[in-house]
Amino acid sequence: MWAKKIVNMKVVIVTTRHGAQDDRIYYKQALSLAKCMDVTMIAPDDGEKLSWHAAVTYRPIPRRRSPFGRLRSLVEAVSVIRHENPDFCHLHDLDLALVIPVIRFFTKAKIVYDSHEAFPEQILTTQGIPKVFRPFSAKMVDILEKWLVHFAHQVITADEPTCTSFQKCHIPSTTIFNYPRLDIFDTDAAKLKAKKKRYSSRLPIIYQGTVSADRGLFHMIDALAIIKKSEPEILLRIVGLSDMVLQAEVLARAKEIGVTDLMEIVGWIPHQDIAYSMKSSLIGLAPLQPTEKYKRNIPIKIFEYMACGLPLIAAELPSIRYYLGKVDVGLLYDSTSPEELARCVLELLADQERRNRMSQNCLKAVQERWNWSEMEKVLFRVYETLGVRWKENNREGSISA
């Protein structure tokens, strides 16, 4: 149905900050759109050996981290966009909002701005900005982002509060939740059995994803010191910690409180392998701290845990409570308290029957409701609408927002 309506069109998907095969950008949106149009990815080259879908063309740009380097990346991205001459241009970073008017001026592409997070709220916790200046900086980012995005044709967000903030500015906006692609979590039985055997003498619990202090990193370590008194075989697996400076801080804290042997730290792993890490654990953790950003943004890890049938222990924040309050898939707790986290871990570890029931509820919830197949339909509807407008406006010889 969808492919028939927008076939033979081209979309350029752009990121200068995320990885080339970011979960939301590549594995979900790019691969979905590749079913019905030509897809070109403009993304940083991090030196990884990546396999690309046959319908996706990769246009690498250098990874640049300095402010001047990031501006260079924007200029380079615009140059590639103009060369590609796409029908649609799908932008995935706050930085890229700066060039929306430029893309609008130099191309006839319909521009989609994809806001992954509540960026103004994110500024409030940015360590690189002095605390006294953060409220002003957040306000300026909000004003500038909303003004620039008026030059786009469509905004996509990952949560409802962020979507509402754009709608209040009279910008066409649609929420596409970051629900998991279920096929990513299919696993080979023999490989999974071998993975589980490795931890057969331990009680593994897992945190999977981007790691930082405001995501509860040090609270998890402090909780270990409490848990080990009752369950000395506990093992906290932190998957995704690649920052060597932060890793050194973690190891120092673990050594200080005597839990070094109760931790396993793993850096970045390929997206298609994360299911093995989760399915070989007993409980998934989402101890996000109660910042304004996390009160609004929905953590993808809770759905990934559910797709693996993993009971959750998650922060009692509005963004998480909405989901865990609907189905019995885990426990909510006060994420400012390592003691509460330890209590919840011990409670679930002591009740295998309850964990099994939660596991079945997890699988049912993502299979029936919270999966990417449902969001793919929304994505196609957005593009179908933009495609119809593009054809009509092209016949009229004008481009309208």
Nearest alpha-carbon partner for 59 in 8, 7, 10, 113:
10
pLDDT band for 3, please (50, 70, 90 cuts).
Answer: very low
Q: What is the pLDDT of residue 392?
A: 44
For the stretch 254-265, pLDDT in tens is 999 999 999 999
- Asked whether the predicted pLDDT for residue 394 surpasses 60, the reply is no
Q: Look at phi and psi of residue 148 and say left if phi exceeds 0, alpha if psi is from -120 to 50, else beta.
A: alpha
Residue 392 contacts by C-beta under 8 Å, 6 or more apart in sequence?
Answer: none
Q: Which residue spans of the chain are classified as CATH 3.40.50.2000?
A: 2-179+371-396, 183-368
For the stretch 303-323, pLDDT in tens is 999 999 999 999 999 989 989
Looking at residue 180, the DSSP 8-state letter turns out to be P
- Asked whether the predicted pLDDT for residue 165 surpasses 50, the reply is yes
Side-chain-facing half-sphere of 232: CA atoms under 13 Å: 2
Q: What is the rounded average pLDDT of the residues 376-386?
A: 92
For the stretch 40-86, pLDDT in tens is 999 999 988 888 999 999 999 999 989 999 999 999 999 999 999 99
Please tell me the distance from the alpha carbon of residue 307 to that of residue 3, in angstroms, as a whole number.
27
Q: What is the pLDDT of residue 391?
A: 43
Q: What is the pLDDT of residue 116?
A: 86
- Choose the most confident range, by mean pLDDT, from 20-24, 137-141, 223-227, 244-248: 223-227
Q: What is the rounded average pLDDT of the residues 288-299?
A: 86
- Asked whether the predicted pLDDT for residue 2 surpasses 70, the reply is no
Q: What is the pLDDT of residue 49?
A: 85
Q: Which residue has the higher pLDDT, 123 or 331?
A: 331
Place of tokens 């500038």: 144
Alpha-carbon 79 to chain mean position: 27
Which H helix or E strand runs over 5? helix 2-6
Say what angle helices 134-149 and 160-167 make with each other, to 10 degrees.
70
Q: For the purposes of burial, counting CB atoms within 10 Å of the CB of 274, is it exposed (0-12), middle (13-18) or buried (19 or more)? A: buried
For the stretch 125-156, pLDDT in tens is 777 787 877 888 888 988 999 999 999 999 99
Q: What is the pLDDT of residue 96?
A: 97
- Asked whether the predicted pLDDT for residue 396 surpasses 50, the reply is no
Helix (H, G, I), strand (E, B) or coil at 229: coil
Q: Which percentage of the chain shows pLDDT scores above 90?
A: 74
Please tell me the distance from the alpha carbon of residue 341 to that of residue 335, in angstroms, as a whole number.
7
Nearest alpha-carbon partner for 116 in 287, 297, 372:
297
Please tell me the distance from the alpha carbon of residue 314 to that of residue 317, in angstroms, as a whole number.
8
CATH topology of domain 2-179+371-396: Rossmann fold (3.40.50)
Q: For the purposes of burial, counting CB atoms within 10 Å of the CB of 253, is it exposed (0-12), middle (13-18) or buried (19 or more)? A: middle
Mean pLDDT of the chain: 90
CA distances from 28 to 21, 25, 56, 127 (A): 10, 6, 13, 30
For the stretch 186-206, pLDDT in tens is 999 999 999 999 999 999 999
Nearest alpha-carbon partner for 141 in 121, 166, 115, 112:
121
CATH number given to 183-368: 3.40.50.2000
Q: What is the pLDDT of residue 138?
A: 81
Nearest alpha-carbon partner for 228 in 148, 352, 111, 346:
346
pLDDT band for 108, please (50, 70, 90 cuts).
Answer: very high
CB burial readout 193-231, b (16+ within 10 A) else e = eebeeebeebbbbbbbbebeeebbbbbbbbbbbbbbeeb
Q: What is the rounded average pLDDT of the residues 233-238?
A: 97
Q: For the purposes of burial, counting CB atoms within 10 Å of the CB of 343, is it exposed (0-12), middle (13-18) or buried (19 or more)? A: middle
